[in-house]
Amino acid sequence: MVAIGGLALIKLGGSIATFKEKPLTFNSDGVKSISRVLKGVVDASGIPIILVHGGGSFGHYYSVMYDMHSKPAGYSREGISRVRCSMIDLNSRIVSVMLDEGLRPYTLHPSSFIMEAKKVIDSRVRELYEVSKHGLIPVTHGDVMHYQDDLYYILSGDEIMSILAEHLRDRVMVALFTLSLDGVYKDMQSRELIKELRYASDAKMDDVGMDVTGGMRRKVREGLRIASLGIDVWFVNGNHPERIADVLKGNDTIGTVIRGSRGEESRGEDRRV
């Protein structure tokens, strides 16, 4: 197996790690099959990986219940506690499965590298990369974050993917988002898969189910942002984990790719959502 060099950023979508329609239900088998595939890739190639997971029917369940969003505000104290607790719970379930499958996960909560007022600490992000180089898989996740004073906000794992890509841009070879769909569709009626997405307008996303952090629209926006750093971005179906292996081996697969476009600033501008 010949893996592409450099670091892989992988987003484990909430729709893969949990059953989104059933509150607080963990998809143990889904995480297990992805872990097995990652174990195969890591053993064969030693590729460093950082994993980011979403909230699914854990964090999103409570953020909807308590009307909490990505905009900093004085949300319900109980809601803040419940979202945070549920994300810690989901994280510990995910890393337990990974550990059982022979991977070596190492959780670094987003509050370890994102401080007050969304300030990202570069040296703390680099710590994730350092950890990833030495046989461990740093695992981080979307969360409810303290903004300042009594203000809190929901931080999406998709946004964390962009933050990591930006701060580790010289290291990242590929960013991969796992979804419960085959990739990004032109529209939800035809479900025609976009093999290569170049502009936000390639996909009509109005009909795609939204969650508090913006659903598919957010993913495409962060994907375009990451691609503008010169990093290839893939959206693949996490229910077919072999597609994750294909991407990590540098092969083509069923999914949507946004090719990295470093140096094409003007096109990057057009690519904004």
Q: Give the interface with ligand IP8 as residue ranges (CB under 6 A).
A: 14, 54-55, 59-60, 63, 83, 87, 142-144, 154, 156-158, 213
Encoding tokens for residue 110? 């987003």
Q: Cβ closer to ligand IP8: 40 or 215? A: 215
Question: Smallest distance from the beta carbon of 44 to ligand IP8, in angstroms?
Answer: 29
Cα of first residue to Cα of last residue in the chain, in angstroms, is 36
Q: What are phi and psi of 258, to 5 degrees?
A: -115, 115
Q: Cβ closer to ligand IP8: 143 or 246? A: 143
Residue identified by tokens 């009909």 is 207
Q: Cβ closer to ligand IP8: 3 or 144? A: 144
Q: Cβ closer to ligand IP8: 13 or 183? A: 13
Helix (H, G, I), strand (E, B) or coil at 134: coil
| Residue least distant from ligand IP8 (Cβ) | 142
Question: Smallest distance from the beta carbon of 219 to ligand IP8, in angstroms?
Answer: 9
Question: Smallest distance from the beta carbon of 81 to ligand IP8, in angstroms?
Answer: 12
Question: Smallest distance from the beta carbon of 87 to ligand IP8, in angstroms?
Answer: 5
Question: Smallest distance from the beta carbon of 37 to ligand IP8, in angstroms?
Answer: 21
Helix (H, G, I), strand (E, B) or coil at 263: coil
DSSP state string for 167-221? HTTTTEEEEEEEESSSS-BS-TTT--B-SB--SGGGS--TTSPP-TT-HHHHHHH
Encoding tokens for residue 240? 């077919």
Question: Smallest distance from the beta carbon of 90 to ligand IP8, in angstroms?
Answer: 9
Q: Radius of gyration (Cα) for the chain, nearest Å?
A: 17
Q: Which residue(s) pair with 18 in the sheet? A: 26
Nearest by Cα to 30 from 92, 75, 81, 97:
97
Count of residues making up the chain: 273
Q: Cβ closer to ligand IP8: 3 or 179? A: 179
CB 28 within 8 A of CB 18: no
Q: Cβ closer to ligand IP8: 158 or 246? A: 158
Residue identified by tokens 């984990």 is 241
Q: Cβ closer to ligand IP8: 42 or 152? A: 152
Q: Which residue(s) pair with 178 in the sheet? A: 236
Question: Smallest distance from the beta carbon of 152 to ligand IP8, in angstroms?
Answer: 11
Helix (H, G, I), strand (E, B) or coil at 23: coil
